[in-house]
Amino acid sequence: MTFVQTELASQPASWSRAAELADGLRGSGQLPEAGERTAVVGCGTSYYMAQAYAALREGAGQGETDAFAASEFPAGRRYDRVVALTRSGTTTEVLDLLATVRGSARTTAITADPETPIRSAADD
């Protein structure tokens, strides 16, 4: 199998594992709580994931949820939480945004590599 085929074949198990991890965080305050006004940001594929998450969260009645490319985030708009999606954990636009909103909204980072700068850039 090629690298791409292996990656694609691993997706169902990866998403199941992600759901298990998310369930374990329910009520911990590390993920958006029902009713929180939430912005989700990312770049590239992470931005498209942000759009999908925002639509699903808002459609489920969990709270107003907007998605933005990190470089297009409306800095003057108030959110209870900003969720940053970044596979690498090193995306400059995402790191800069988290620094900008620090202290004005709780921040959560979701990444594939926790040993990257994103770990200290977000609250959770």
Say what the pTM is: 0.87
Model confidence over 45-82: pLDDT tens digits?
A: 999 999 999 999 999 999 999 999 999 999 889 999 99
| Confidence check: pLDDT of 34 > 90 | yes
Once rounded to an integer, what is the mean pLDDT over residues 19-23? 84
Give CA separation, 113 vs 88, 89, 91, 116, in Å.
Answer: 6, 6, 12, 6
- Sequence-distant (≥ 6) Cβ neighbours of residue 55 within 8 angstroms: 65, 67
pLDDT at 51: 98
Q: What is the residue type of 1?
A: M
| Confidence check: pLDDT of 26 > 90 | no
Here the tokens at position 95 are 């790191």
pLDDT at 14: 80
Lay out the sheet containing 81-86: strands in order across: 65-69, 38-42, 81-86, 106-111
Domains and CATH numbers, the chain: 1-28 (no CATH), 31-121 (3.40.50.10490)
Here the tokens at position 28 are 């911990």
Q: What is the mean pLDDT of the chain?
A: 92
Please answer whether residues 97 and 69 qualify as being in contact, where contact means their C-beta atoms are separated by less than 8 angstroms. no
pLDDT at 59: 97
